[in-house]
């Protein structure tokens, strides 16, 4: 598999930069072949969301935010007991997803899927997951003892991440 990927990249570089090979550019595949190529060829389904003057820190406002998303962006049936037709992924940092999940739990007594706000699937964004992985892998190679490293998770809010020596903090 890795050899095939190297061949793909080398061939693309050669037909792009070597003058006598440029005529073969159309013969070189544009994408690395893999099992999910057909799925990735489909058009992405995303929506630009509205700006709401609500605070995700308040349960009442978070429920209002989710209801707004449900009304405008989640496909559902048009009857009194509306059901969700297709769910969508709700991305954000871990704290936002936790608050959205808590808001969903508060609405569990609704009669149908739509009133229970079940059209949203919570998932932390890739950036947040990768950043957490990077921080843990970087810091795990050090000896942790005295000081606390703070990571800025949101403006004006510091979250203690891990304890380590002052000298080692400078290297991070």
pLDDT tens-digit map of 91-135: 777 788 889 889 999 999 888 888 888 888 887 776 666 777 777
Task: For residue 23, tell me if it sits in a domain.
Answer: yes
Please list, residue by residue across 1-12, b when 16 or more beta carbons sit within 10 angstroms of its beta carbon and e when fewer do. eeeeeeebeebe
- Tell me how far the alpha carbon of residue 47 is from its chain's centroid: 14
Provide the domain limits for residue 9: 2-41
Residue 49 domain flag: no
**Averaged over 73-99, what is the pLDDT?**
83
Alpha-carbon distance of 133 to 137, in angstroms, equals 6
**Concatenated DSSP letters of 99-116:** HHHHHHHHTTT-SSTTTT
Structural domain count, the chain: 3
Same domain, 109 and 141: no
Among 57, 79, 66, 52, smallest CA distance to 118 is for: 66
In angstroms and rounded to an integer, the radius of gyration of the C-alpha atoms of the chain is 24
| One domain, residues 63 and 120 | yes
pLDDT digits (tens, 9 = 90+) for 40-67: 788 877 767 788 898 888 989 999 999 9
Is residue 90 one of the residues assigned to a domain?
Answer: yes
């Amino acid at each position: 598999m890795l050899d095939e990927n190297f061949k793909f990249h080398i061939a693309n570089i050669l037909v792009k930069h070597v003058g006598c090979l440029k005529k073969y550019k159309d013969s070189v595949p544009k994408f690395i072949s893999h099992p999910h190529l057909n799925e990735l060829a489909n058009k992405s389904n995303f929506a630009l969301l509205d700006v709401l003057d609500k605070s995700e820190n308040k349960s009442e406002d978070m429920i209002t935010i989710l209801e707004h998303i449900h009304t405008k962006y989640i496909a559902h049936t048009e009857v009194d007991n509306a059901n969700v037709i297709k769910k969508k992924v709700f991305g954000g940092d871990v704290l936002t997803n936790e608050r959205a999940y808590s808001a969903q739990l508060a609405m569990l007594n609704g009669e149908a899927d739509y009133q229970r706000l079940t059209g949203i699937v919570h998932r932390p964004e890739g950036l947040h997951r990768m950043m957490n992985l990077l921080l843990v892998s970087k810091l795990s190679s050090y000896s942790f003892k005295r000081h606390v490293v703070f990571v800025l998770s949101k403006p004006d809010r510091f979250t203690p991440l891990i304890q380590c020596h002052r000298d080692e903090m400078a290297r991070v």
